[in-house]
Amino acid sequence: MNIKLLTIPQAGELLGKSPRQMEWLIYTGQAPRSAKIGGRRMFRESDIEAWINEQFEKESA
């Protein structure tokens, strides 16, 4: 199993968002799926990709 985990700044870089913008998305429940691991908020790269795809699907609907 090869899971790539990303921190808030790394996830934000993929999405073109600052760490503060990412924190706001998390707070408002609009961010990709994440979890606290070892006290740090982490994102699976695959969840970010799925979230991006969902955003495009919403726009085309």
pLDDT tens sequence across 1-44: 789 999 999 999 999 999 999 999 999 999 999 999 999 999 99
DSSP string, 10-35: HHHHHHT--HHHHHHHHHHT-SPPEE
**What global pTM score does this model have?**
0.87
Q: Using CA of residue 32, residue 41, residue 11, residue 17, what is the dihedral sign?
A: positive
All structural domains of the chain, each given as residue ranges with its CATH number in brackets, are: 5-60 (1.10.1660)
**Mean pLDDT (whole number) for 48-57:** 95
